[in-house]
Amino acid sequence: MAYKVIERRMIVPNIHELVIEASAGGLVKPGQFVIVRPDEKGERIPLSVSDFDPTRGVVTCFFQEVGETTSKLALLKAGDTIPTFVGPLGEASEIAHFGTVLLIGGCFGIGSIYPIAKAMKAAGNTVHVLIEARSSFLLYWEDRFEELVDGFHVITRDGTKGYKGHISKLPQILKNEELKPDRVIVNGCTFLMKRASDMTRELQIHTMVNMNPIMIDGTGMCGVCRLTVGGQTKFACVDGPDFDGHLVDWKEFLMRRKTYYEEEVTPLRKSGVGTEFHLSGKHKHKCLEKN
């Protein structure tokens, strides 16, 4: 069976929006993910779901080019097909009335916090969103969040928009905005989730992170996505992907994420597979993360 690509576009440098026609669109819940494969010989990769439309039967995901497989995805055009689309997978995010909820997103995580923000708002929470990037030209979907949530905040490393700095400024931002969240949820790269968890641990704010380890089957059979949470072995595909950020063994997780770095990146450099953006070398992306 083949799955039709409705749209694929680079929404900001090195981050792509992928819309796929799939009946699974009617089954997705906030926080879940899907697994896709660009061709018959391609790697299976997990992508967090950023939006879904049951009426149209489509699922929207964002991905970052980090290796050969994601570069093949980045070459897809509307009307193309992919051989593999599996999902929705994983447990949905816990949605309830917590009071004030702060959602933090960076990179591909900016998109994947959107359905959680909608669900949290529908559950009666006061919802604030904080997104971060190296510069303002790497931000996206700002209009969607501004229309939806009660407070919208930005951090950029170069200070071109919002607060200047990175997520370590979170305590200062909370103080300036007079914001006292009852729950924090973080989606994005490992650095963002780890540092945000470090900050909220000191502030004693319950924090959930959407983990994105290396993954193969997505059903708990292969064990590749295992991580340690609270001293126990967990599998992100069936036990997660959401976990308590204060209980994750981040040191172990970071080591496991580097396991196939050479196998992912070296073939890309040798094969020439990649978009014009990548091949130009003008904006080499430093965040080597899966999605």
Burial class (CB in 10 A: 0-12, 13-18, 19+), 29: middle
C-alpha to C-alpha distance for 59 and 69, rounded to whole angstroms: 19
Spatial CB neighbours of 92, under 8 Å, sequence gap ≥ 6: 29, 30, 31, 32
Q: In this structure, are strands 232-235 and 226-229 parallel, antiparallel, or unpaired?
A: antiparallel
Pair of tokens at residue 130: 């904080």
More confident site: 282 or 176: 176
φ, ψ of residue 54 to 5 degrees: the values are -60, -30
Q: What is the mean pLDDT of residues 187-191?
A: 93
Measuring CA to CA, how many Å separate 184 from each of 117, 139, 235, 277?
11, 20, 22, 34
More confident site: 286 or 91: 91
C-alpha to C-alpha distance for 36 and 44, rounded to whole angstroms: 6
- Name the pLDDT band for 24 (thresholds 50, 70, 90): low
pLDDT of residue 60: 95
DSSP one-letter string for 176-235: HTT---SEEEEES-HHHHHHHHHHHHHHT--EEEE-----SSSSSSS-TTEEEETTEEEE
Total residues belonging to the chain: 291
Q: b/e per residue, 177-205, with b = 16+ CB within 10 A?
A: eebebebbbbbbbbbbbbbbbbbbeeeeb
C-alpha to C-alpha distance for 162 and 134, rounded to whole angstroms: 12
Query: Tens digit of pLDDT for each residue in 131-175?
Result: 999 999 999 999 999 999 999 999 999 999 999 999 999 999 999
Q: Which residues are annotated as a binding site for [2Fe-2S] cluster?
A: 222, 225, 237
Q: What is the mean pLDDT of the chain?
A: 88
pLDDT of residue 1: 75
Q: What is the mean pLDDT of residues 50-71?
A: 89
Please say if the pLDDT value at position 203 is more than 60.
yes
Q: b/e per residue, 40-49, with b = 16+ CB within 10 A?
A: eebbebbbbb
pLDDT of residue 260: 64
Q: What is the mean pLDDT of residues 105-125?
A: 96
User: What is the reported pTM?
Assistant: 0.88
Q: Which residues are annotated as a binding site?
A: 222, 225, 237
**Amino acid code (one letter) for 255:** M
